[in-house]
Structure 1
Amino acid sequence: MGLLIILVLGYGAVVGAMYAMQRDLQYDTKGAITPLADTAIVGAADVAIPVDGSVVNGWYAAPRSGKPLILYYKGNSGSFTAEHKRYATWMQAGYGFLAFDYRGFPASRGSVSQQSILDDAVAAFDWAASKGFPMVIWGRSLGSGPSTYVASVRDADALLLETPFLSAVSVAGERYPLLPVGLVMLDQFPVNQWIADVAEPVLIAHGTADTTIDVSNGQRLYELVPRKDKLWIVPDGTHGDLWDRGLWGQAEPFFERSEAAAGH
């Protein structure tokens, strides 16, 4: 009986610590900021987007005539500025882009939570939409949450999800099967629910060797997509190498198909 009491108390202490520290465990908000001037990007500018009395900071470039603007929702690691090679590639192909750090990440001051990320995501969409260009949405990893949410409440021409989760709480449950994550997790990002209201065509990309978000997340999420375009599964692809394995070669034709369907 004494051992059982010790085990129960120990389990409760672990659950309590997880609850108190969960956002520190969930978000990887530290990282270096790469100045725009130190990249190969030509024609983009630093921007500050108002949201809730604060701002989120990012980079913006307008597209060439006949091309859409890519609204990019970053993943859960460091600053959006680290992915500047993507943005340079998009611009070389004529696409515009808006990319930014959610509040609490390196380039944007503030505290991070699901609600703050969603608020930042909607504010970024509305800011970009005011420019008047056709828009497509790209969400990577953590960014699959806000990108899917925005696509469910705003109108764009396409939604691309790179290494998405079915929900953040499902991933947490896979990592901590003995803990009641569904009861204590505050930021659950129910992408599996939001996707039902997405009217845009959807492409999902995932790798079979992804140890951060298992490929089954992307596969199960695709089954829920109302307007399916393509599920691109990369053999031996990891959580961070789909770009190097040819993701742009899948994304660009997808955006072209979507733009044609939208009449742009």
Structure 2
Amino acid sequence: MKLLRRILLGLVVIAAVLYAAAVGYMYVNQRALQYDAAGPVTPLAETALDGAEDIVVPSGDGQVHGWYQAPQPGKPVIVYFKGNSGSFSKEHERYEQFVADGYGFVAFDYRGFPASPGSVSQAGILEDATTMFDWAAAKGFPLVIWGRSLGSGPSTYVASLRDAKALLLETPFLSALTVAWERYPFLPVGLVMQDQYPVNEWIADVAEPVLVAHGTADLTIGVSNGERLYALVPNKDELWIEPGAGHSDLWARGIWGHALPFFERAMPQ
């Protein structure tokens, strides 16, 4: 019996050490695990955006690089907050469609993503997001906000602090902490996670009309995140749940066909 107790105690100690090592690894490397901030930058000259310009905007102790194009008369500028993978520039097809329908846009890489130097953090992303919204607002055009995936965090944060005409959230999370809990239910993520993006709290202060879009086959951010977040929206406009769509499918599945009338509804006639 004594030998058995010793063996069991040894196994418990080994399990505890391994668990502590896993938590420690997660804490030290959490931003590398959370962000996918690498990839090529598509030159503006290689796109169909003939009227857009490269911009560099100071933000905090760094600078943000992006693209901007003014809208046609009577149309707003879409302030686009990118997702978590690669550079904003790889989504140029979206911006080309915005422009084709008369909309202006500003899109950019947060500090630490491919086009903007620096290191990635929630504080830096929120600062860059607010800076770029204010930069766009100074142009004098009406603004609508589009936040995709990771961008649902800074876009909701900015909408809670600034005045825009509308907020579109594509594949949003309830919070980054919620996603971490869903992926690592056996780890104390609430105690060690630094960049939690509490969208579920920020949304309470968003006065703009909100459209939430999600797909039922999203394996990156489960569709229940979008559904639960929409339930918290003070000024609901539309919840679009696309059957069978994954995390990166909504553009091909027709999100612009929902976004366009949504923005038109939000603009004063």
- Which range, TM-score by smaller chain? over 0.9
Match in the other structure for 1:205: 213
Q: How far off is 1:6 after superposition?
A: 0.8
Shifted more, 72-81 versus 46-55: the winner is: 46-55
Corresponding letter in the other structure for 1:127: W
Equivalent residue for 2:62, pick from 29, 32, 54: 54
Match in the other structure for 1:216: 224
Corresponding letter in the other structure for 1:149: Y
Corresponding letter in the other structure for 2:49: I
Q: Secondary structure at the match of 2:116?
A: coil
Q: Secondary structure at the match of 2:112?
A: coil
Q: How far off is 1:52 after superposition?
A: 1.1
Q: How far off is 1:41 after superposition?
A: 1.2
User: 1 CA distance for matches of 2:61 and 2:20?
Assistant: 38
Unaligned runs of 5+ in 2: 1-8
TM-score normalised per structure 2:
0.96
User: 2 CA distance for matches of 1:54 and 1:163?
Assistant: 29
Equivalent residue for 2:136, pick from 109, 112, 128: 128
Q: How far off is 1:53 after superposition?
A: 3.1
Match in the other structure for 1:88: 96
1:169 aligns with 2:161: no
CA RMSD of aligned residues (A): 0.5
Please list, as runs of the form range in 1=range in 2, the aligned pairs for 1:65-104 lying within 5 A after superposition. Answer: 65-104=73-112
Flag as ranges the 4+ runs of structure 1 deviating above 2 A: none
Cα displacement string for residues 223-263 of structure 1 (whole angstroms, at most 9, x for unaligned residues) = 00000000000000110010000000000000000003xx5
TM-score normalised per structure 1:
0.98
Identity of aligned residues (%): 68
Please list, as runs of the form range in 1=range in 2, the aligned pairs for 1:1-264 lying within 5 A after superposition. Answer: 1-260=9-268
Corresponding letter in the other structure for 1:23: R
User: 2 CA distance for matches of 1:54 and 1:79?
Assistant: 17
User: 2 CA distance for matches of 1:10 and 1:245?
Assistant: 44
Unaligned runs of 5+ in 1: none
User: 2 CA distance for matches of 1:241 and 1:6?
Assistant: 43
Cα displacement string for residues 85-121 of structure 1 (whole angstroms, at most 9, x for unaligned residues) = 0000000000000000000000000011000000000
Corresponding letter in the other structure for 1:124: M
User: 1 CA distance for matches of 2:121 and 2:164?
Assistant: 25
Q: How many residue pairs end up in the alignment? A: 261
